[in-house]
A = this chain, B = another copy of it.
Amino acid sequence: MKRGLLIILSGPSGVGKGTIRKIFSEDERLNLAYSTSMTTRKPREGEQDGVDYFFTTREEFEKAIENGELLEYAEFVGNYYGTPLKEVNRLRDEGKNVLLEIEVQGATQVQQKCPDAISIFIVPPSMEELERRIRGRRTEPEEIVQQRLAKASNEMKMVYQYKYIVCNDDPQLAAELIETIILRHIELEENK
Contact = CB atoms under 8 A, between A and B. Distances in A.
A28 to B, nearest CB: 18
A176 interface: yes
Contact of A163 (B167, B172, B181, B188): B167
A184 B173 contact: yes
A169 interface: yes
Interface in A157-192: 163-165, 167, 169-170, 172-173, 176-177, 179-181, 184, 188
Per assembly, the copies of the chain total 2
Contact of A173 (B165, B172, B181): B181
A184 to B, nearest CB: 4
A51 B163 CA distance: 40
Contacts of A173: 180-181, 184
A137 B137 CA distance: 51
Contact of A177 (B163, B177, B188): B177
Given A163-B167, A173-B184, 16 more contacts: A163-B169, A164-B167, A165-B165, A165-B167, A170-B184, A170-B188, A172-B184, A173-B180, A173-B181, A176-B180, A176-B184, A177-B177, A177-B180, A177-B181, A179-B180, A180-B180
